[in-house]
Structure 1
Amino acid sequence: MEFKGRAADLQLLGRQLELVRAGAGATRGQAVIMTGRRRVGKSRLVQEFCDRSGSPYVVFQATRGRNAVAERADFAGVLAQSAVPGAELVAGLRATDWNQALRSLAIALPDDVPSIAVIDEVPWLVEQDAEFEGALQTVWDRHLSAKPVLLILVGSDMSVMEALQSYGRPFFGRATKMTVQPLNLADVRAMTRLAAADAVDALLITGGFPEIVQSWRPGMSRRDFLREAMANPLAPLLVAGELSLLGEFPEASHSRAVLEAVGTGERTFSAIAAQAGGARALPSGTLSPLLNTLQAKRVVAADLPLSAKADTKNKRYRIADHYLRFWLAFLQRGMPLIERGRGDLALERIERSWTTWRGRAVEPVVRASLLRLLPDGRWPETEAVGGWWNRQNNPEIDLVGADREPVAGAVHFVGSVKWLESQPFGRREYDALARDVLAVPGTGPDTPLVAVSRSGVAGDLPLAAHWGPEDLVRAWE
């Protein structure tokens, strides 16, 4: 399948390989810790980079649950069969620990030309053998860092991968961090060949996960794409969510229950506790560490109101990636219908709730896009874009632009998001925004008002600025 997108990621890896070629780093070898959500395309990206590089390379992928002896044997076998020049030197070697296994990698790699070594699913190696991290540090310091090699360590458990480079851990300070994000809005539009507004819908449904975006035939409407997926229980749109979740969160776990509560629309701590606990609400001592872990894994995000007044106790939780939010809201409970051939009923459920669900789901996309468009000439100091709400969510402001977060020194604008196919941002929405603006601490009667609308802005409303779908796509180009 043709590889599309990821130009910036390939360029970033290319720069690291160029450091190796030029010998311009602090050490001859360079290391990269690559992380990102499961199924976001890290392994495919690394393979494409290796194939394009023109350098000899070896790629080893760990297997979860395998014992360390079998894993080291597999590592040795992959190395011996690879195209690196010294592979025959280590053929038949049997490593009794990871120190020996990684030293055999150093022996096989050339001294005179740049090469690439990839170790994929590193968290599983850390899980299998507590000595792996220390061995990696030792062999890197004594052998690998002196070779012209780009070492890429890949893993989906973001908390484990970030811990690898934290202070006090063996590999601290030895690698550059790289986070692989889902395909962005501009990539999704290019691959689906949709109008800008429809590309936003496609992003909310696919999350930018490459295997799902590639299943969206160019020019296909949202409804047609969903209808086709609902007719096939093995469609990537349906199976990727469960595979992703099962990789990290067993079905019976409290973490899974918390995820499902947030995914079905609960946003406050108390509401999540009640929903996830079933008959009895989860105790605070149980829920707090679960939410902290989910945030560390970048699965759940917590937002605070953005204004000139601190409000650290008024958090709102949401699923961090768009696809998982869509899957938990609609597809998880629709799977029994789809599996018995009634995908039409599952599609009807989505259609009934689509407009309401999308209205809130699009807000993080809008804020992230505006952060890429700002600062600009109109607001040269705007470096934070969030929302604002009180405990009663009355009012709830979609957009607040400020100089910093979570507590603003100055609020630069307040705005509203209206994301409907046929209704522009009109006088009613403007009047509501003008009425509510003074509720936001740090605003005044002259605070500029802005809007983001799928269908444009009606009349001669005195807005300081407004953005539409094309602007959001442009932010990512």
Structure 2
Amino acid sequence: MTFYNRIDELETLNTAFESPGHDFYVVYGRRRIGKTELLKEFCRHQPHIYFLSAQEAEERQREKFVEQVADYFDDRVPRIDGWDEALEYLGEKIADEDLIVAIDEFPYLVEENDSLPSYLQSFVDEHLQETDSMLVLCGSSISTMESEVLGHESPLYGRRTGQFDVQPFSFRQAREVILYDIEDAIRSYAVTGGTPMYLTLFDYFDSSLADNIRSQILSPSAVLYNEPEFLLRTELRSPARYMSILESIALGHTTPNEISGATGIDSGPLSKYLRKLQKLRLIEREIPVTASAKKSKRSKYYVADEFLRFWFRYVGPNRSSIEEAPGIVYENTIEPDLPNLVGETFEDICQEAIWEGIRREEFEQYSEIGRWWYGENEIDIVGLSPADDRILFAECKWTSEPVGCGLVEDLRAKSEHVQWGPDSRTERFALFSRSGFVEGLDQEVDDSWSLFNVGSIDRILESPTEI
């Protein structure tokens, strides 16, 4: 698999390893997010022992680990009776070494022996700290990594020298992989999101987006056809209710009351499920950007990953039909509604473009950017700059027709409902449009307005950040 991006993470890991003293890094994140490729790329040109854990008996895993250590040092495999002895052996061998020891899928080892973090604590305290070597623990089970490695209750708490919660690629990063033109790249990103494995399954040279969806998602033999179920089983023993919640949110039920009504789950248990899905990075809770995170009751939930949003909107609810006639499902269900899904992703990409413009000092500074709503009024993007009493209002339109004066007047009217800052606040406006703008619109608005088509967005996101 080709290695993409992760430049900052690689630089941080290399700098840490090349600096004097020991290091203990924790790398975690969802399945398919590229953790293993990051580790392999990091280790590629450095002295290292890379151990990939498996779901098998503890004794066999321990034997394989010791064999790998012995093989690296060209040593006879010793007789080892426990993980304490295995790590003692490793500690003796690295005493005078400058070496990376990377253990991938660490949660599999903890499943078989929950005392392993305690043994690793002794290894770090008694051996690793006296060397210039580096230990890296990596895992896909976010809950296990946060509780057994990073959590306050973990014996390893406070011993790490760095950590990475590996995130999906932003649209800007994903453009290195997606080779379509800008419009189709946005459409494609709305389907795959920024998960590297999903991105690289699509053929951007010889296949259209429709062809890729049919072959890589709607085919029952395709990897992505059942991917969400495998993803949830990484973290959850009984994922059925969580699947129902994700499907209801993907279909547009975004408030707790709406989700409860769609799933039949009472509000008490539902709040527990929602918190768990948030912790697993599968959903996000949003409040109006002008509201207080602790006090606001106007929360909405969104599926945090574009591919999961696509799957739970189109694949999960239609699997029986897909088994019989995937082409019909695409033509009658997915294709007509896809612009609505892409429109949601387009809003996120426009936010990304604003942040990138701020970083490059092409845009005025805003410290908070997000959605705003109250009653029937909604604004796609509102940016706040409290230090300057400045506020930005923006709408994002993924439509086939150019945007005209109607949207200008509509946004002006809605902005009057946003209660924030003094009456003398400075107001800025922006419109983002897939199909551009009616002729002469730029002459009809004053200099407090900015107009962006997809070409403008592409230009902003393709240029390297200077800061």
**Common topology (TM > 0.5):** yes
Q: How does 1:355-366 map to 2 (within 5 A)?
A: 355-366=339-350
Note if contact 2:391-2:426 (Cα within 8 Å) is conserved in structure 1: no
Q: Does 1:204 align with 2:190?
A: yes
**Per the alignment, in what secondary structure is the counterpart of residue 201 of structure 2?**
coil
Change (3 A) 1:12 1:423: farther
Describe the superposition over 1:222-265 as per-residue Cα deviations: whole angstroms up to 9, x where unpaired. 22322333564333443433322332235654323222222322
Q: Paired residue for 1:169, among 150, 154, 173?
A: 154
Cα distance between partner residues in 2 of 1:173 and 1:105: 22
Does the CA contact (< 8 Å) of 1:73 and 1:95 recur in 2?
Answer: no
1:75 correspondence with 2:65: yes
Q: Does the alignment pair 1:144 with 2:137?
A: no
Q: Does 1:45 align with 2:23?
A: no
Q: 1:349: how far off?
A: 1.1
Q: Percent identity?
A: 27
Q: 1:302 Cα deviation (Å)?
A: 0.5
Q: 1:87 to 1:316 in 2, by over 3 A?
A: farther
Distance in 2 (CA, whole Å) between partners of 1:3 and 1:366 is 26
- Structure 2: distance between partners of 1:74 and 1:170: 24
Asked whether 1:222 is paired with 2:221, we answer no
Alignment counterpart, residue 435 of structure 1, candidates 413, 418, 426: 413
Structure-2 separation of matches of 1:343 and 1:47: 39
SS at match of 1:124: helix
Report the equivalent of 1:288. 271
Match of 1:188 among 174, 189, 203: 174
Aligned to 1:15: 15
Contact 2:396 2:431 survives alignment (8 Å): yes
Task: Identify the residue that residue 382 of structure 1 maps to in structure 2.
Answer: 366
Deviation of the 1:193 alpha carbon: 1.6
**CA 1:11–1:328: 2 relative to 1, 3 Å:** same
Mapped pair 1:401 → 2:383? yes
Distance 1:47 1:309 in 2: 42
**Within 5 Å, which residues of 2 pair with 1:315-394?**
315-374=299-358, 377=361, 380-390=364-374, 392=375, 394=376
Matched, 1:423 2:401: yes
Distance 1:376 1:62, change over 3 A: closer
RMSD of equivalent CA atoms: 2.7
Q: Does 1:58 align with 2:31?
A: no
2:101 alignment partner, SS class: strand
Conservation of the 8 A alpha-carbon contact between 1:206 and 1:237: no
Tell me the distance in 2 between the aligned counterparts of 1:210 and 1:263: 22
| CA offsets 1:386-424 (integer angstroms, 9 cap, x no match) | 01112x3x10111100137xxx9945211111122x323
- Cross-structure match for 1:115: 99
1:195 shift after superposition: 1.6
Contact 1:374–1:383 under 8 Å retained in 2: no
**Which secondary structure does the structure 1 equivalent of 2:37 belong to?**
helix
CA separation in 2, counterparts of 1:347 and 1:148? 59
What SS does the corresponding residue of 1:442 show, helix, strand or coil? Answer: coil
The match for 2:90 is 105
* Structure 1 counterpart of 2:432, one-letter code: V
Q: Which amino acid aligns with 1:6?
A: R
> What is the match of residue 257 of structure 2?
270
Whether the 8 Å CA contact 1:76–1:93 is kept in 2: the answer is no
SS state at 2:159 partner: coil
CA 1:231–1:35 in structure 2 vs 1: closer, same or farther (change >3 Å)? closer
8 Å contact from structure 1 (residues 39, 240) kept in 2: no
User: Match of 1:33, as an amino acid?
Assistant: V
Counterpart position of 1:31: 24
Please state how far the C-alpha of 1:356 moved relative to its aligned partner: 1.7
Alignment partner, residue 300 of structure 1: 283
Contact kept, 8 Å, 2:281 with 2:304, in 1: the verdict is yes
| CA drift at 1:342 | 3.2
Cα distance per residue 1:282-304 (max 9 Å; x no partner): 22221112111111111111011
> Where in structure 1 are there 5+ consecutive unaligned residues?
none
SS at match of 2:382: strand
Structure 1 letter corresponding to 2:61: E
Aligned residues: 451
Q: Is the 8 A contact 1:230 1:346 kept in 2?
A: no
Answer yes or no: is the 8 Å Cα contact 1:59–1:120 preserved in 2.
yes
User: In 2, Cα distance between the equivalents of 1:10 and 1:375?
Assistant: 22
Q: 2:141 touches 2:234 (CA, 8 Å); kept in 1?
A: no
Cα gap change, 1:79/1:359 in structure 2, threshold over 3 Å: closer, same or farther?
same
Shift of 1:217: 1.9
Q: Deviations over 1:161-189 (max 9, x none)?
A: 23322445322232211122223323432
Does 2:435 match 1:452? no
Alignment partners' CA distance in 1, 2:329 and 2:186 = 24
TM-score (norm 2): 0.88
User: In structure 2, what residue type is equivalent to 1:12?
Assistant: T
Counterpart among 139, 164, 189 of residue 178 in structure 1: 164
14 and 343 in structure 1: CA distance in 2 versus 1, 3 angstrom threshold: farther
CA distance in 2, matches of 1:469, 1:150: 45
3-state secondary structure, aligned to 1:88 = coil
Sort the Cα spacing of 1:438 and 1:118 in 2 relative to 1 into closer, same or farther, 3 A.
Answer: same
| Counterpart AA for 2:62 | R
Q: Does 1:465 align with 2:437?
A: no
3-state DSSP class of the match of 2:198? helix
Paired residue secondary structure (1:71): helix
